[in-house]
Structure formats: C-alpha cells, structure tokens
Amino acid sequence: MSALQSMRVGIVVERREIDSRWADYTWEPVGVIPGAAPLVSPTEWLPLRAGEDWEHFLIGTLDIELFRRETEGYRANLTNVPPHVYVVLTRGTEADEPEIMPFLATVCPYEAESYTEGDEEIVEGVPMPDQIGAWVQQFVDSYHVDEPFKKRRNKKAYDPRKGDFSHHSPPVRGGNGSGHG
C-alpha cells in the first residue's frame, strides 16, 4: 500500500524535571509544526521555549503519510475534540544518538495504538493543527468509501438424519469388519 499524500511536520517534545531516584526528567511529545524544516543535525535540537522546570525542543521532522485504506481511522480521529497527531518517540541506543528520537507521526489512531504494546516507545496524541485537520478532512472526503456491513453466513453442517451423503463421506470405523472392533 503506497502513500497517496504526505506532509512534513516538526516534532516538539517537552523535557520536564522530576524528583525521582531513577530519572532526572521525563520526555513527552507536546506538538507538531506543519512544514517545519529539517534540523541541521539530528543531535542538535532547537530549543523553543522554557519554564521553571521544563523546556520544549524541536527534535526533528517526520512525514505524516495518508493511505486510501486507512480513511476509517482518520475519520474516527477527526471526530475527537480536538483531533490528534499521534507521535511515537523511540529511545536512542547508540552512543552518538540522542536520548530520544522521533520515529513516527500519524493521524491514524489504530496505527498509533500498535506502538503502545511495549515499553520501548513513547506514544502520545498531540492536538492536530487546523492546517493538518483540513488536509486530512479533504483526503477523507476524496477517498473514503463506506464498507457495507456483510453478515457472514454459516456453512451448512452435515446432518446424517437427512441422508445427504453426496458431499460427505460416512464416518470411518476401525475394526476387523466383524462388528467386534
């Protein structure tokens, strides 16, 4: 399944100081910036704003891709107030990688949910900017097709009382043919 349309977004995360013996701070996606330019280096984040115990960074860019077969998920998302862009962050594992890295940006809640199974990724929905919402709505309006509900029919089971042996073989019994097994 190939992408029909894509839009580049900048990934904004918040680093918040915490009082814990296991960690000094937490990371959480807090926003996306439509059309953001890629960073010069993936390890040189752009500080955006800061408070007493928090700081927001632009940590990179990703493409949101829209697929024809996922419009049901996009429609479900657009009914949220507000709709979301789901951001998946992964932890850097190599010495030259940052502590966290952008991995996926999607507007399909079903796709995002598939990354919540383990504890390796950070998955959060951030408010969808109006520009992205209009783009997704236009895509859904253009490509969504309601799938009619199809009730599955049960296959007829073999009923020995009806004597229909044309499609079914009689049960095989073991033994020596004398009826004394």
pLDDT at 4 over 90: no
Residues above pLDDT 90, as percent of the chain: 66
Residues 103/88, Cβ–Cβ less than 8 Å? yes
Residue 156 covered by a domain: no
Three-class SS state of 28: strand
At residue 128 the predicted structure's pLDDT band, cuts being 50, 70 and 90, is very high
Domain enclosing residue 132, as ranges: 5-143
Residue 32 covered by a domain: yes
- Give the chain's domain count: 1
Residue 42 covered by a domain: yes
- Shortest CA distance to 30 belongs to which of 70, 57, 62, 60? 57
The reported pTM is: 0.78
pLDDT at 171 over 70: no
User: Buried b vs exposed e over 43-72: b needs ≥16 C-beta within 10 Å?
Assistant: eebeebeeeeeebbbbbbbbebbbbeebbe
Give Cα separations from 86 to 54, 66, 82 (angstroms): 21, 13, 12
Angle between helical axes of 71-78 and 130-143 (0-180°, round to 10): 140
Residue 177 covered by a domain: no
